[in-house]
Structure 1
Amino acid sequence: MATEVIMPKWGLTMKEGKLARWLKSEGESVQAGEPLFEVETDKITNSVEAPTDGVLARIVVPAGETAEVQAVLGIIAAPGEEVGPVSGKAPKQETPDSAASAPQASASEADSGQEEEFVPAMPAARRLAKELGVRLSAVTGSGPKGRITVKDVKAFAESGGGINASPQAIAFAKKKGVDLADVQGSGEGGKITKADILRAMNPNYAAGQQPQAAAPQPASQSEAPASAPAAPIAASGEDTIVPMEGMRKIIADNMHASLTNAAQLTVFVEADVTEMVALRKTLLERNKRNPDYRLSYNDIIACAVCRALKRHPVMNATLQDDGIHQHAHVNLGIAVALPEGLIVPNVKQADTYGLEELAVRVRDVAGRARKGGLDMDEISGGTFTISNVSMLGMDGFTPILNPPETGILGVGRVVEKPAVKNGEICIRSMMTLSLTFNHMVTDGAPAMTFLRELADMLEQPGLMMA
């Protein structure tokens, strides 16, 4: 009997995915568990395995198309079996707006009718390449397995490999539907400016006529062509419209869903972490001959969080459709800020590691998150999250839950300030911790008890060993 291959759902807010490429062709044999196709989301590209043995009898959604979750992408059948009509959802159709915003194929591509060969690249790199007019096939990837990263695209564009246009001109051309390949640049080094686009749209502009009031002016005097008359300064410039799409849209949906579907409450505590500071200094001194050893306060906090969660399992829980799941191990999420948004990779079974090994694993997933080297398993399945804003100079904040988790810890900076110790005023290292928890899963007292015990561990690190 034929088996439908469907678009998987990764995460609570995933609604669609782009079928990046098929790893098998129609008529080719497949085995259950064998990689069958790759799906690209706004956060990651991941391969999907074949659900059964057989032959890929039909490809319903071709590579490059976007399909909704649970849409039928293809059919696996027995050799020689006839395949009937597809019963699942159809792939998502492009709207006129999305078609207009899609990158235009070059003349050679249009004439030949051939699509550009699939090139492995991170989603953010693909978006940037579209914005800059960079052909990914011309870029050399430096990421894992040769995957192209944002850094690679930027370097290629800056070296002259992409369209030679100012960022303002690229955004303006996209907004007006102008193909930059048809625009002659008059800026420094032939760079295309907004004024050049205006001339391409309105030939009279080159003859000295002023543009319409709606037309934007050059971003700077150096961008204006020397032969064109200076345009008057508008009373107010055009607003910049940033599309709510990609990772920004995913984050917005996640945060809205989090606040809508959970009763969130945040509590704070100020901890005297002087002993934690001393512990880090001692361990750094002990390992100073190892240039790769960089123990941070966050590493010590992560270790303490794991120990505290084992003693307070209600905080290491997720709220799911069938009830509250209290997990046997801690899959510790670490919030990582990226230029295009936020991602939370997690260390699986973090509670099974000692301080130094946990520090290595946290640094590994955080580093690969910034380089675009994570797989889907590493950004899903978390049970508790730490969000540290100390590097931004913040004392504290109110974090938002990472659904379906029950708790998230906010970490502020370490500040030396006067404090009372043994009845005397002295200078101590203080830190503000904030815990946001889901009041649907636990009451205030258990959550506050967890936070207080965590603070005690940071004030007296020896308690982590008890």
Structure 2
Amino acid sequence: MAHDVIMPKWGLTMKEGKVARWLKGEGDPVEAGEPLFEVETDKITNSVEAPASGVLAKIIVPEGDMAPIKAVLAIIAAPGEAVDSAAPAGAAQPAAESGSEAAPAAAAPSAAAPAGDGKFVPAMPAARKLAKELGVDLATVTGTGKNGAITRKDVQDQADSAFAGINASPKAIEFARKQGVDLSEITGTGEDGKITKADILRAMNPAADQPAAAPQAAKDTIVPMDGVRKLIADNMHASLQGAAQLTVFVELDVTAMVELRQQLLERNKRDKEYRLSYNDIISYAVCRALKRHPIMNSTLQEDGIHLHEHVNLGIAVSIDNGLIVPNVKEADTYGLEGLKAQVRDVAGRARKGGLNMDEISGGTFTISNVSMLGVDGFTPILNPPETGILGVGRVIEKPAVHKGEIAIRQMMTLSLTFNHMTTDGAPAMAFLRELGDMLENPGMMIV
């Protein structure tokens, strides 16, 4: 009996995912429970296990393509079992569902925007949205859905029909559609006369095509702005656009914190596996300070400012292809050793893979530590919808005034970026100052 392989749903906000990599090829045997493919979302990339044993009879959605949740990505069949091969690659259809989640798919189409003659065209909401994005007049589209309603595929087919028979790369077609360029007027310079994106850009800017007097410069190496890198770029840009961000700095004499760490390492030196970092102590202090300044442990949402009872502490972790921020739920309920273990657990799994959606969503405050890079201070960018993010610089020996005399002390810079839409400067600075007092005098953490 054939089994559908579907796009999983990780978290309430996930709408679609990208098939990053198939770990098996068509015709390969698979065992239920073994990793079958990898899915990339705007938050994580994780492997998905095979739902059944058999043979990977057909891959419907190839690597690199997006698919909505519950879409059929492939078919697993028994050895020798025939499967329907009519569906073309990429033509993923949502799998049948029961219960409340099936309701949206069966919902009646709502009225579209008025057509050119003023009449309303029945169309699915997703079709209306896509038509707006692609500049397609719904009045020119023939619906194939229930009762003649226009579907998303109908809109896409109508948009693609304008480029039928044109020898152009998919990226060139997508770019031409967005720019409103008529490809029939462009001469392609690619293989077999194929139109490329560069051909479109030259046509849009003829002056740039004139020969330059200077010798031709060496060709640049181009790194595609896609995948996780593009998602991070989009999220960072959205963060700056959606919040009034302000950063304040404070330089601390953390000699006492350095001594505390050394004392704890000495006390546990018999345990060869024991580790304790400055970040462990800072994370513990941040939780204590946030409980005393609840506005900094808040998120700005559509219905207002949410003050959270517990601290869901986010830890920015650098990975091979970008940055990810897992968080420890109710971090304020742990002691130093317990919090240290939780932070290291999520950070370790962030680097190796294996986080779930719950661990990368719902954070209330984030720490970004760059001390290992030899940086003193920086301006961190908020992780929406959180109100604050703490930047941690390195600990370094510097001359400083101590008890009225110049002495060599252990100094560190903290930077706090906060959303001025959520809180004013004074409460944010009061939080940073109290956190600094705790790190300069660790005994204040237990007061």
- Give the alignment's TM-score, normalised by structure 2: 0.60
CA RMSD across the alignment:
3.8
Cα shift at 1:421: 1.3
Deviates more, 1:441-450 or 1:374-383: 374-383
Q: Is the CA contact (8 Å cut-off) linking 1:415 and 1:430 kept in structure 2?
A: yes
Say if 2:23 is the partner of 1:17.
no
Amino acid at match of 2:46: T
- Say which SS state the counterpart of residue 18 (structure 1) adopts: strand
Q: Percent identity at matched positions? A: 67
Paired with 2:169 and 2:328, the residues of 1 have a C-alpha distance of 40
Equivalence for 1:286: 267
Cα shift at 1:8: 5.7
**Partner residue of 1:338 out of 319, 336, 340:** 319
- Say which SS state the counterpart of residue 359 (structure 2) adopts: helix
**Partner residue of 1:426 out of 398, 407, 421:** 407
Cα shift at 1:7: 8.2
Equivalence for 1:75: 96
Equivalence for 1:142: none
**1:348-380 Cα shifts (integer Å, max 9, x gaps):** 111010001111111111111111121111111
- Give the alignment's TM-score, normalised by structure 1: 0.58
Give the gaps of 5 or more residues in structure 2.
1-5, 23-36, 50-58, 72-92, 110-123, 127-151, 161-167, 173-189, 193-214
Q: Is the CA contact (8 Å cut-off) linking 2:7 and 2:17 kept in structure 1?
A: no
- Say which SS state the counterpart of residue 96 (structure 2) adopts: strand
Cα shift at 1:40: 3.7
Say if 2:335 is the partner of 1:354.
yes
Q: 1:10 to 1:84 in 2, by over 3 A?
A: closer
Equivalence for 1:44: 45
Cα shift at 1:340: 0.7
Q: 1:238 to 1:280 in 2, by over 3 A?
A: same
**1:309-331 Cα shifts (integer Å, max 9, x gaps):** 01111000011111111111111
Cα shift at 1:424: 1.2
Cα shift at 1:264: 0.3
**Partner residue of 2:219 out of 234, 238, 242:** 238
Q: Is the CA contact (8 Å cut-off) linking 1:395 and 1:413 kept in structure 2?
A: yes
Q: Is the CA contact (8 Å cut-off) linking 1:316 and 1:406 kept in structure 2?
A: yes
Paired with 2:275 and 2:358, the residues of 1 have a C-alpha distance of 26
Counting only pairs closer than 5 Å after superposition, residues 101-180 of structure 1 correspond to structure 2 as: none
Equivalence for 2:116: none
Counting only pairs closer than 5 Å after superposition, residues 11-410 of structure 1 correspond to structure 2 as: 16-18=16-18, 40-41=40-41, 43-45=44-46, 66-67=66-67, 73-77=94-98, 89=126, 90=152, 97=169, 236-410=217-391
- Say which SS state the counterpart of residue 449 (structure 1) adopts: helix
- Say which SS state the counterpart of residue 418 (structure 1) adopts: strand
Q: Is the CA contact (8 Å cut-off) linking 1:309 and 1:450 kept in structure 2?
A: yes
Q: Is the CA contact (8 Å cut-off) linking 1:9 and 1:15 kept in structure 2?
A: no
Paired with 1:364 and 1:275, the residues of 2 have a C-alpha distance of 27
Paired with 1:99 and 1:373, the residues of 2 have a C-alpha distance of 33
- Say which SS state the counterpart of residue 275 (structure 2) adopts: coil
Q: Is the CA contact (8 Å cut-off) linking 1:19 and 1:62 kept in structure 2?
A: no
Paired with 1:11 and 1:425, the residues of 2 have a C-alpha distance of 56
Give the gaps of 5 or more residues in structure 1.
22-36, 49-60, 101-175, 179-233
Amino acid at match of 2:316: A
Paired with 1:411 and 1:391, the residues of 2 have a C-alpha distance of 10
Equivalence for 1:170: none
Q: Is the CA contact (8 Å cut-off) linking 2:244 and 2:421 kept in structure 1?
A: yes
Paired with 1:11 and 1:308, the residues of 2 have a C-alpha distance of 31
Paired with 1:341 and 1:428, the residues of 2 have a C-alpha distance of 35
Paired with 1:7 and 1:294, the residues of 2 have a C-alpha distance of 37
Paired with 2:378 and 2:283, the residues of 1 have a C-alpha distance of 18
- Say which SS state the counterpart of residue 393 (structure 2) adopts: strand
Paired with 2:107 and 2:296, the residues of 1 have a C-alpha distance of 48
**1:92-137 Cα shifts (integer Å, max 9, x gaps):** 979975699xxxxxxxxxxxxxxxxxxxxxxxxxxxxxxxxxxxxx
Q: 1:309 to 1:235 in 2, by over 3 A?
A: same
Q: 1:11 to 1:348 in 2, by over 3 A?
A: same
**Partner residue of 1:459 out of 418, 427, 440:** 440
Cα shift at 1:417: 0.9
Q: 1:267 to 1:177 in 2, by over 3 A?
A: farther
Q: Is the CA contact (8 Å cut-off) linking 1:9 and 1:70 kept in structure 2?
A: no
Amino acid at match of 2:430: T
- Say which SS state the counterpart of residue 323 (structure 2) adopts: strand
Q: Is the CA contact (8 Å cut-off) linking 1:305 and 1:454 kept in structure 2?
A: yes
- Say which SS state the counterpart of residue 244 (structure 1) adopts: coil
Paired with 2:106 and 2:11, the residues of 1 have a C-alpha distance of 28
Say if 2:392 is the partner of 1:411.
yes
Q: Is the CA contact (8 Å cut-off) linking 1:7 and 1:73 kept in structure 2?
A: no
Amino acid at match of 1:239: D
- Say which SS state the counterpart of residue 337 (structure 2) adopts: helix
- Say which SS state the counterpart of residue 395 (structure 2) adopts: strand
Amino acid at match of 1:291: K
Q: Is the CA contact (8 Å cut-off) linking 2:346 and 2:355 kept in structure 1?
A: yes
Cα shift at 1:425: 1.2
**Count of matched residue pairs:** 304
Paired with 1:350 and 1:93, the residues of 2 have a C-alpha distance of 47
Amino acid at match of 2:319: L
Equivalence for 1:121: none
Paired with 1:97 and 1:344, the residues of 2 have a C-alpha distance of 36
Q: 1:335 to 1:93 in 2, by over 3 A?
A: farther
Equivalence for 1:51: none
Q: Is the CA contact (8 Å cut-off) linking 2:314 and 2:367 kept in structure 1?
A: yes
